[in-house]
A and B are shown apart, each in its own frame.
Chain A
Amino acid sequence: ETGVTQTPRHLVMGMTNKKSLKCEQHLGHNAMYWYKQSAKKPLELMFVYNFKEQTENNSVPSRFSPECPNSSHLFLHLHTLQPEDSALYLCASSQDWHEQYFGPGTRLTVT
């Protein structure tokens, strides 16, 4: 595998479910990001990790819980989501704060 991978690519979940999104980067980068992309909206930064430490949390509701066990892996744990949370969730990585490399995203639908 090369670049940034994300699983699953598509996810449908009910409002009472608990699920997790996974991101893995094979680029040796030290920073990882979660973004939310909704239709007709800009990319919204959710969380940033640098060397496994969270450096940004852009007022994201607590129903989204990130986890970064090491510099190569990033998870987004989801629970009791709302329909408005349906979106494309993109993971990215970078070396320091240089150009970001994005994964293909997880298309999430909350029913």
Chain B
Amino acid sequence: QQPVQSPQAVILREGEDAVINCSSSKALYSVHWYRQKHGEAPVFLMILLKGGEQKGHEKISASFNEKKQQSSLYLTASQLSYSGTYFCGTRNYGGSQGNLIFGKGTKLSVKP
């Protein structure tokens, strides 16, 4: 079951914050977050494995709410280099371990 990401796109000024959500209709085992810049390959940001766990990567952090079957990615004090498309990939309980299902992505544009 494909996760749903929101918003589809967001435009920020440098220094502003953003939140990207990833929701699943099935119980989540883990959530992966990746960023893809235009013309480049997706780059891994972080994995969340436990309910309510938060992880951080520079000024980017994420939470995982098992009950809500949702993960959120938080970008604080955004920089120009944060521009790109953010994808969440989910593994569901009972699903195949090798099968990571990606959302449609959220396009983030950071302007000076």
Report A's interface with B, CB cutoff 8 A: 4, 31, 33, 40-45, 48, 50, 55-56, 58, 90, 97-105
Contact = CB atoms under 8 A, between A and B. Distances in A.
Given A97-B91, A103-B41, 6 more contacts: A45-B100, A45-B102, A48-B98, A55-B98, A100-B100, A105-B41
Contact of B32 (A56, A90, A100, A105): A100
Interface of B: 2, 32, 34, 40-44, 47, 87, 89, 91, 96-105
A97 B41 contact: no
Most buried by A among B34, B41, B104: B41
A90 B52 CA distance: 31
A56 B96 contact: yes
Contacts of B42: 43, 90, 102
B47 A45 contact: no
A105 B102 CA distance: 17
A43 B87 contact: yes
Q: Which of B40, B43, B91, B102 has the most CB of A within 10 A?
A: B102
A48 B99 contact: yes
Contacts of A105: 41
A103 B34 CA distance: 13
A40 to B, nearest CB: 8
A39 B40 CA distance: 14
B90 to A, nearest CB: 11
Contacts of A42: 2, 87, 102-105
Given A31-B98, A50-B98, A58-B99, A104 B40 contact: yes
A43 B89 CA distance: 9
A97 B97 CA distance: 7
Nearest to B45: A99
